[in-house]
Structure 1
């Protein structure tokens, strides 16, 4: 087997240093040394404090709040790494927030998911490693290789080890667009599948028109790619309970939790709401939203980075 002899270096932007550090701990390496400064005029400067020459560089940066600052920092880190003669630069983007804007569904708007992909490539990224894109077609906006990880194995392991008789429950997709993701989880749990037919009226207002499937007298596992304001989540839990579900558990990849999300979750009739650490959840949100739980995907990212570095298959992680 070919082993890459070039040095492996992992650096982190400011968005989620805890995840980057945990990835490095799993890899058995030291997190790279870099600094980011923001001047009074809001300009950002990134500086690497060690040699990157001919290194295989991985930059960990989630496009979470403040999204524009984090995106700009990522672009500058990629550009600076290329200027410092890195052999290859991989943008590790645990949360790609613009993935929702994947099509032109209104007149005179930008397809920003494609625009952000163009920016990342123009900055000099040689490949991208990300997790659970809201729309899988965003993968196609990149002309460089993209490794698209899934958190379903982490979520499935959590549910299996913490909940009795998961096979008797029902995995509930919050809308028809999430059926494929929910179906994959249902197969891992050997559970049944259901979904909600819904209509989005605005960013914070979702209307459910019906539930397809049987959840009466069963535990329900609501799955989605992310929780933002929790509007869809609240509606999904209410629909499930109204249809006769017993206990409701929620598991998503990205816990963004903006606006009224934490307050809504605190009042929600659900046992727990799990997300992974693709987005860093502040301690105060965890304390306020007592039902919130965070699962780690650092070992998954570490294994993917190791495989990319040594030229092994990443897709085999999910076989």
Structure 2
């Protein structure tokens, strides 16, 4: 066998979005404010995933203004509707849809007043980039002017929205049930190079195709996929968390190997937009699902390269070398027979 050999592996996955086997819900408030700006109140918490940027985009599109004109309010749950936790890949799906519904209600109140003011049907009104116009006419005005007229007529264009995802438990006998309302699917291909002398594995590239529903923020989605793949790379090859009888024996990060920038392979993402028919936005989520197929794809690539199946993570150089040793021993035994 050559010193360095390459292999490719593929793995596919599915993932349920939002809370498991229960009803998940979230709510939001929205208001078109003076100057044509908007404020949105939600209990969502930003933990680095970029959810606040996405929610501003959702509100801006629904209201016909620019994202920088949207102010997201205090996420103190004592002063805002329930949004629940940032987990289960649920924030885009649950809070995003809640904000969309809240903004639509606020927009409908504004449109109803302006339609009456212009003496046109409300269905003819459209707003984009801060300009409101009536289709088939030359009537137009800024959103700032529209809000001033609406409030001058005694109506505050405010709305509330609540979105629910339904799930059920699983039957203890036959396993039937619907633990999630919506699912996403993904496939990743990994290419690796294995050093048969040192046992080291280098991941050369990952190709990741993921169903995300409607892609509201494609760059943000790519960032989520890339971050998940780096985590999966660490799980597959480096991170070795040890416990004995339920107690950790990994004392700190000094000898706990994590991926660095030098370990990150070339990552190519493909976004599959299979829209969710059960939600206003059609979006799903990609926070955790992109992590699922990474390690299996890498393990399959290692097997393709050297014919050794690693069955426990991480696939350390010691495990690779031990696997190669056992493979040689088996081959020698077969040859002797």
Q: Give the alignment's TM-score, normalised by structure 1.
A: 0.24
Ranked by relative contact order (alpha carbons within 8 Å, sequence separation 6 or more), the top structure is: 2
- Decide which structure has the larger Cα Rg and report it: 2
Q: Give the alignment's TM-score, normalised by structure 2.
A: 0.23
